[in-house]
Structure 1
Amino acid sequence: MYSLIVLHGIFLACAYSGGSNLNSIPRKIIQYEDDHVIMFKEEGVWNYSTMLIREDLGLLVLGAREAIYALDINDISVAKSKVPWKVTEEKQKECTSKGKHPDIDCRNYVRMLHQMNDSLMYVCGTNAFSPTCDYITYSDGQLKLEGKQEDGRGKCPFDPFQRSSSVMVDQDLYSATTLNFLGSEPVILRLSPFPLRTVFKSSWLNEPNFVYMDVVQESEDSPEGDDDKVYMFFSENAVEYDFYNKLVVSRVARVCKGDMGGQRTLQRKWTSFLKTRLDCSVPEPSLPYIIQDVFHVRHKKWRKSVFYAVFTSQSSSTDRSSAVCAYNVTDISEVFSRGKFKTEVTVEMSDVKWVMYNGELPVPRPGACINNAAKSAGIMRSLDLPDKTLQFIRDHPLMDDAVRPITGKPLLLKRGALLTRLVVDDVTAPDGQSYPVMFIGTENGCVQKAVNYDGEMHIIEEVKLFQNAAPIDVLRLHQNQLYAGSASGVVQMPVSSCSRYFSCVDCVLARDPYCAWDVTVQRCSRVPTSPEKSKGHLIQSLKDGDATRCPSTAPVEPKIQTLVLGNNIRLLCHPDSNLAQVTWNFAGKPLPYSNRKYTISNEGILIYNASTTDAGRYTCMSVERVKGRDYTQTLAIYDLCEQSAAVGTDKIKTTLGILFESYTTSSGLHKPEEPPSYSKNLSSERKWIVMQVVLAVLSVMMACLLIWNLYMGHISPFMCCGRQSIKSPRNLPEREYMHTGNDYVDGKQQMARPCVTTNSGLEVTSFHRNITNGDTPTDIFILKNITEESEI
């Protein structure tokens, strides 16, 4: 019972106001398309999970399974060079004999790539559970392994699917991985003239899962003469909480770059290693979220640098969710430099509990870097630290305080597919402010672009990068290009595609820092690098989403649709935004969603068992609410024409009427436009057409009578050359009639298609032809043969 109370009091997050707003959805979802990304993959090669950007060489160096590639950084589909790095047959057999899979585990997975200098790179691979490192060069357009293989234990993991992290600082390699085949001996290691490592003790590292590490230049402009720090992010089993099962928590740790170990205590061990819990509380009560990836947004002044981190739930419930939290470097540094320590105490039958240490601390402060105060006391390096300080830090590496996010809550909370990786780009908008735009990879092969506006998280879009829904394993950002790697391939995409927004309102409501509506060219364009120069020509409103400055647009022209009695009719309407609500009006009145005759979705409306009462005008509108304002747009208008119900009318009369109408239209005669309420006036208009048809039929009959008299000799055949046989109606040739008119589809002028009635025994087919070289668009209607003479 005590365990549950402690767990509930410490780990379960309390709900706070505004939490429901954190569950954001993307405004646009871009499905997978081959034409909006550049992709690289090679047949038979997998796990493209390691990247190194070499801007000086114009390369993206890519590490995969048993291969290293040099790709053109501007077009990764161009592979400039490849070097294979396969395991030997002997190594593969040795790996298999230890119970590993020969085709999955016993291969060489490139897991680490670092630049040493302008000409040399350092690469490490798992090498069939026998980690190996080597040096690689690029010259004359070719990659080359130097063949100077080194032991990779402590630098690269044995298991290709185990997380690890590393960073190169001033030619010194810092790595966080495992030291043995079983993966049971974790280590944070530095390879330098003074190699150091962590103590193999559960209070230091307890089954960790390493995620990320990077250096912060804290020695710059430091009045205390502080040292640079290397920060590590990982998750591990908590030792400080009493729980019936293993409880995983997220951690941040750090060491001093100038650490040289202790003289007698902690020899060749870190004397500055400290760690603390990283908090990312969500509104709902849950177990702590587990860190998955981190990105360091560097600033010229290191105190303004920020770490962005992705977390996922560890709960076994079906409601899987992820969160993104941001942390100031100064907040993390404050916990380590001034926070309280935790200590072990023995209570209740020798059970070990972790409580806050309230005793007196040794001097210098345990875990602190060698600063001006220490040097004034004669301690010039960590080798000079007293044993009392070293013994304390050996037994008390854990801090009592947790690091809280900048906003006190997650920037983003997302349910559904779990988030895996992220990168952040700092974008300067036309308003002169900088906005951090996050690109977040998911487990189903998508990337979400999101930005936080004064505590409001806005997901601009979600783009599906991989057709096979492979998890995003690595993300890199360079010069407005995003690179994403997975098990199946690598994708390159631009950070923005402003051409996706077709209208000013859609462009402004997207609230994309990269995009703005250019008034001069009337399109959504990329914001220039110096937005102040074209500020007056751009319309953008990021925080407020104010689209009232947008110019008015031309009205949407209706599309004519035929109503076939008894059929199901679908009217398409796609909103520009997932955040917009779609409404339909019929004959000027709102269409109720509860009506069982209709099914309304984001794809459009489906009318079941259409009847004459369904004829009329349908208007599709979207309403998007942003910052208390409603923006209504008319997306589509349909005029649904009722099909003729006059089945008993002579079919040839109906056909000739259509031909007559086509003829008058093609001849330039005026055809009155049908008003919105044309369905009510349709019968009277048909009467007028029938009268014209009757006259046409009488004319035809008179012509036939004249021909018959000529044939029988009742009239002198002075105008004929001889007898001619009259073909039966069954053998009448097909006739073509031209029809012109106007209609609008998606805002573009197209040919008009009248509501054509087709009955049994008569088939009328319409073909559409667009002529763009100055000709008039036409419709060709072909009257096919009448199959029964009795119909004449």
Structure 2
Amino acid sequence: MKNHSLLSLTLAVLGILCPCLSRLSPRVSFPMGSPGRHLTRFTSHDVSNTTTLLLSEGGDMLYVGARDAVLALDVSHKDAIILKNKLDWSPSDKDLEQCSMKGKKMADCPNFIRVLQFLNTSHIYACGTFAFSPRCTYVNSEMLTMSIKSDEGRGRCPYDPYQRNTAVIVDGELYTGTVADYRGNRPVISRHLSEGRRVDLKLDDTLGWLEDPTFISSSFIPDEEKIYFFFSEVGREYDFIDKFIVSRVSQICTSDVGGQRTLQRRWTTFAKAQLLCQADNELPYNVIQDVDTLPPAEGAPADDTLFYGIFTSQWSVNSGRSAVCSFSLNDIKSVFSGNYKVLNRDTLQWSTRVQEKVANPGECGLHNASDNALRFVKENFLADDSVRPIGRSLTMVSVEHNYSHLAVQRVSAANNRDYTVLFLLTESGYLHKAVLLQSGTHIIEEVQVFEQPQPIKSLRLSIPKGMIYVGTSEGVVRVPAANCSFYWTCAQCVLARDPFCGWDPANRACVKASNTQTSLGQDIDKGNVEEACNHVTLTHRARFGPNKLPTGELVSVSLNEVVRLQCPAASQLSQQLWERPNSRLSSDLYLQLQDGSLSFVATPATLGHYICLSTENGYQQTMAIYHVKQKTSPMAQTPTSHTWPQTYPIPTTQAVARPKPGLHTSVGTWPERQETRQAETLPTLSSRDTQVITRQLGRNLTMRQKEAEFQDKELLQLARGPCYLKELVAVSVLLVLCLSLLITMLLYVIRQRCHSRTAPQAGTPTRNSDRRTPVEQEALRGNQFLSKQNGQTPHSGQVSGLSCNGALTGSNGHLPNTPI
């Protein structure tokens, strides 16, 4: 428990110390179906799970190991992959029934071809899982027919189609790394098809030479007469961590025939070491995913052979998802010639101590050694030191991609320098092409090869034909390694920094580079357009002069409209910059969105010319020019200060500039348009660097992104001046309170006056009646007498004017017949 706690603390601390990595973004992206990247596909309704690919020496024929079939595909045609022959090789109904009785799913019981190797010039050796009962056979490579009946394939091919394996044929003998039992508990590295005095060999598994391995790849080095196997397994030397995964490289000699008494029919030259893909102060990327071999350059020694591998981490605290490390054959040989760990037979614990070497483990020719020497190499097969990457650093780290397969190629550029190009397949379905530079890794492009993540894939590179083949669950996809014709200007060709491509000034085209063409414009290391294109007339940008206004797209708008001007990106590594003549783009009036577009409200101050510049690696080029002009229609709106009703959308004018055909594939984010209108177009730039084709969107086109809509409304409000909404609300509340108080006081005064003028009831003497003079009383009685003569009986309910609480008043508001 103490060791586990210490390990957890160490992992946490190292996770905090891991430096933040910058994202490696592909310069150009080609989504599925992009016209800028031509792909060729082979699919068939009865072909699936193309898990094994084998290329002929010339690259004209591709042999595919699929489910229940072996295919021969003619790939010599430019625009098509043609099925030449097909060998059906499926289990019988009885085999499928037995597989099901073993408790296996019927989907896993077909024959999945997992071994496909050239035996000689006329035959291929093929092995398949065959309903969890592996079988192998010889196939005629020309007719694609079985030469003899299939035989047992145990130890040559896995039982389970999901188990990884590796195989290589050298001088007619098959060397494999797989499992030798139905349950997958007996991993083996073995040799088969031996003849004459040579015998088939396998590992001695009494001491656990392999610990639950996952085989990845194998490579034969002719000058060394050795085969190197790459795999991951549980590192038993790290006993304080339960199932700590480590990556390994192991070796065996092809001349090995086993010992005479000790290690009979067993390897005497087996040795293994740890591959450590780790940067300083970081946890290692300890799980190997794929390995490819890069042979030495012409004339270089075999020790310059490099192995490039993809590694992932067992822990989530690492800075990236995948890492690429490169190892040299010279470093691997140095580790195998050093000291070895000692295994305690009683405790099965590994230890490191200096001991007398009875023999050199991994050395070829030990089959004639003494029994004492063979016992020593049998117990000491784990190298003490680890193989570290070249330069003690990672070749590249991907923060956002999980790489699963890779292929590596050395490319000679126009300057006769060699560059290493990696083709990396992501689990999300993209193929990345990257070039390794002294300044770091540059991802030239990414190509989407399939839409949905595929569970089973394979990757093969045909260097003679310049093609990459990807095997998926649905079929085979062919991708050209070079795509020079996509770059239509010298600047774009140089900025791509693709060793395959260079600018031909005579033909004014980006062409595939070769050693015979030395005048090509190319700069792989720096991507300097000025130097590489010094023989080409460049139009860097269309500047605004005092008496010069460039032409461009005319955008007719109404005042107070929200205008959005689009600027196509030259690449995903470029940055867009907007300019106006003799004017600064204030942040109070303009918003530059993340996609590079410019948004503002059409006012007299914002009308005029706009130019969008793309900047990449110090080079600027014009991508779009607009002239925003007010409509001349008499129905054009005038500037107003009121706000737009929320029930109506804000009028919007959106102008979109299109690049030359094919450029949209480099961005992959062009918006779909539902409603368009024609716009008056001014002549575009004559320079090939700055030519754009544009059109204007409809006036009532709504914003497709909520963020952009919010920013446009905010910009409209800012353009109309400061907002006094809070002050208006406060004044309104005070006005309502004042009016309410005034009305209340008026009602109170009226009510008081009405009370003061209330008439007394008949027959009821009041204080006021007592105070009347005799003349007033006599006049009052006279009025009552006249009323009786007219036939009217006065009562308290009749009024000749306004009645207030039953009082009688005249039309002038006073009591009847009362002198004013």
Asked if TM exceeds 0.5, the reply is yes
Q: 2:130 aligns with which of 127, 132, 155?
A: 127
Structure 1 match to 2:459: 475
Instruction: Work out whether residues 342 and 354 of structure 1, in 8 Å CA contact, stay in contact via their aligned partners in 2.
Output: yes
* Separation in 1, partners of 2:41, 2:486: 20
Q: Is the 8 A contact 1:561 1:755 kept in 2?
A: no
Match of 1:775 in 2: none
2-side partners of 1:422 and 1:757: how far apart?
Answer: 49
* Aligned 1:507-546 pairs, distance under 5 A: 507-528=493-514, 530-531=515-516, 534-536=517-519, 538-546=520-528
Change in CA separation of 1:201 and 1:324 when aligned onto 2, cut-off 3 Å: farther
SS where residue 505 of structure 1 aligns? Answer: helix
Mapped pair 1:413 → 2:401:
no
Q: Output the amino acid matched with 2:457.
A: D
2:573 corresponds to which residue?
A: 579
Name the CA distance, whole Å, in 1 between partners of 2:363 and 2:13: 32
Instruction: For residue 400 of structure 1, give the secondary structure of its aligned residue in structure 2.
Output: strand
Pair 1:229-2:226 in alignment: yes
Give the direction of change, closer, same or farther, for the CA distance of 1:744–1:213 in structure 2 (3 Å limit).
same
CA apart distance, 1:511: 1.0
Give the 3-state SS of the residue equivalent to 1:394 in structure 2: helix
Counterparts of 1:251 and 1:457, CA distance in 2: 25
The residue that corresponds to 2:51 in the other structure is 49
* Residue matched to 1:454: 438
1:485 corresponds to which residue? 471
Q: Distance in 2 between matches of 1:385 and 1:304?
A: 31
1:197 to 173, 197, 202: 202
Mapped partners of 1:99, 1:34: distance in 2: 45
Question: Residues 15 and 318 of structure 2 are in contact (CA less than 8 Å); yes or no, is this contact kept in structure 1?
Answer: no
2:170 partner letter: V
Q: 1:189 to 1:150 in 2, by over 3 A?
A: same
**CA distance, structure 1, for counterparts of residue 482 and residue 264 of structure 2:** 52
Gaps of 5+ in 1: 220-227, 371-381, 650-737, 759-792
Name 1:435's counterpart in structure 2.
419
The residue type equivalent to 2:277 in the other structure is C
% identical aligned pairs: 34
Alignment of 1:384-403 (within 5 A): 384-403=368-387
Structure 2 equivalent of residue 638 of structure 1 = 626
Aligned residue number for residue 506 of structure 1: 492
Report what 1:692 is aligned to.
Answer: none
The structural deviation recorded for 1:472 is: 7.2
**Structure 1 residues 739 and 473: CA distance shift in structure 2, 3 A:** closer
User: In the alignment, which residue of structure 2 is the partner of 1:77?
Assistant: 81
Deviations 1:494-518 (A, max 9, x none): 1111122122112112111011111
> Equivalents in 2 of 1:87, 1:590: separation in Å?
75
Report how far residue 5 of structure 1 moved. 5.0
Contact 1:560 1:755 in 2 (8 A): no
Aligned partner of 1:326 in structure 2 is: 326
Alignment partners' CA distance in 2, 1:756 and 1:8? 60
- Deviation digits for residues 746-767 of structure 1 (CA, Å, limit 9, x no counterpart): 9698999999999xxxxxxxxx
Which residue in the other structure is 1:311 paired with? Answer: 311
Name the SS of the counterpart of 2:390 in structure 1.
coil
The answer on 1:547 being equivalent to 2:529 is yes
Counterpart of 1:723 in structure 2 is none
- Which of 69, 73, 77 is 1:67 aligned to? 69
2:154 and 2:396 mapped to 1: Cα distance? 37
Question: Partner amino acid for 2:83?
Answer: A
Give 1:277 shift.
0.4
Pair 1:264 & 2:261 matched:
yes
In 1, Cα distance between equivalents of 2:414 and 2:188: 47
Work out the CA distance in 2 between the residues paired with 1:605 and 1:739.
21
8 Å contact from structure 2 (residues 558, 636) kept in 1 = no
Contact 1:254 1:275 in 2 (8 A): yes
Q: Secondary structure at the match of 2:314?
A: coil
For residues 764-783 of structure 1, the aligned pairs below 5 Å read none
2: CA distance between counterparts of 1:110 and 1:295?
Answer: 21
Letter of the 1:218 counterpart: D
Q: Does 1:359 align with 2:355?
A: yes
Q: Identify which of 398, 405, 409 aligns with 1:425.
A: 409
Q: Which amino acid aligns with 1:385?
A: A
Equivalence for 1:186: 187
| Structure with the higher strand share, 1 or 2 | 1
Assess if the C-alpha contact under 8 Å between 2:277 and 2:284 holds in 1.
Answer: no
Q: 1:591 to 1:135 in 2, by over 3 A?
A: farther
RMSD: 3.3
Structure 1 equivalent of residue 153 of structure 2? 152
Do structure 1's residue 169 and structure 2's residue 170 form an aligned pair?
yes
Q: Aligned match of 2:611 in 603, 614, 619? A: 619
CA-CA distance at 1:576 after TM superposition: 1.9
CA-CA distance at 1:275 after TM superposition = 0.4
In structure 2, relative to structure 1, the CA distance for the partners of 1:752 and 1:207 (3 Å cut) is closer
How much has 1:263 moved relative to structure 2?
A: 1.7
The counterpart of 2:283, out of the listed 281, 286, 305, is: 286
Conserved 8 A contact 1:12-1:288: no
| Amino acid aligned to 1:259 | D
Shift of 1:422: 1.0
Q: Does the 8 Å CA contact 2:580/2:609 hold for their aligned counterparts?
A: yes
Give the Cα separation in 2 of the matches to 1:391 and 1:127.
39
Aligned to 1:696: none
Match of 1:93 in 2: 97
Q: CA deviation at 1:566?
A: 4.8
Does structure 2 retain, via aligned residues, the 8 Å contact 1:120–1:136? yes
Map of 1:788 onto structure 2? none
- Judge conservation of contact 1:441–1:472 (CA < 8 Å) in 2: no
Change (3 A) 1:544 1:563: same
Residues 753, 29 of structure 1: alpha-carbon distance in 2 compared, 3 angstrom cutoff? closer
Q: Which amino acid aligns with 1:230?
A: I
Partners in 1 of 2:447 and 2:266 — Cα distance?
46
Q: Which has the larger radius of gyration?
A: 2
Question: Is the CA contact 1:15–1:285 (under 8 Å) kept in the aligned structure 2?
Answer: no
Aligned to 1:724: none
1:455-496, Cα deviation, whole Å (9 max, x unpaired): 521111111111334367211111211111111221112111
SS at the partner of 2:91?
coil
- What TM-score results when the alignment is normalised by the length of structure 1? 0.74
Superposed counterparts of 1:214-225, under 5 Å: 214-219=219-224
Deviations 1:650-689 (A, max 9, x none): xxxxxxxxxxxxxxxxxxxxxxxxxxxxxxxxxxxxxxxx
2:419 match: secondary structure: strand
Output the CA distance in 2 between the equivalents of 1:544 and 1:16. 31
Rounded to whole Å, the distance in 1 between the matches of 2:375 and 2:281 is 41
With over 3 angstroms needed to count, the CA separation of the structure-2 counterparts of 1:174 and 1:10, relative to structure 1, is farther
* 1:283 Cα offset (Å): 5.9
Contact 1:446 1:469 in 2 (8 A): no
Q: What SS does the aligned partner of 1:332 have?
A: helix
CA deviation digits over 1:573-599, x for unaligned, max 9? Answer: 22222222222224555646x669635
Label 1:31 to 1:588 Cα distance change in 2 as closer, same or farther (>3 A).
farther
**Deviation readout 1:158-184 (Å, 9 max, x if unpaired):** 110111001001101000000111111
Is the alpha carbon distance of 1:199 and 1:143 closer, same or farther for their aligned partners in structure 2, counting shifts above 3 Å? same
**CA distance in 2: counterparts of 1:590 and 1:233, whole angstroms:** 60
Paired residue for 2:117?
A: 114
- CA, structure 1 residues 16+424, in 2 after alignment: closer, same or farther (shift >3 Å)? farther
Unaligned 5+ residue runs, structure 2? 543-550, 638-678, 701-820
User: Aligned pairs, how many?
Assistant: 633
Tell me the residue number matched to 1:716. none
Residues 270 and 361 of structure 2 are in contact (CA less than 8 Å); yes or no, is this contact kept in structure 1?
A: no
- Tell me the distance in 1 between the aligned counterparts of 2:437 and 2:388: 20
Matched residue of 2:141: which SS?
A: strand
- Asked if 1 retains the 8 angstrom alpha-carbon contact of 2:271 and 2:361, the reply is no
The TM-score with structure 2 as length reference comes to: 0.72
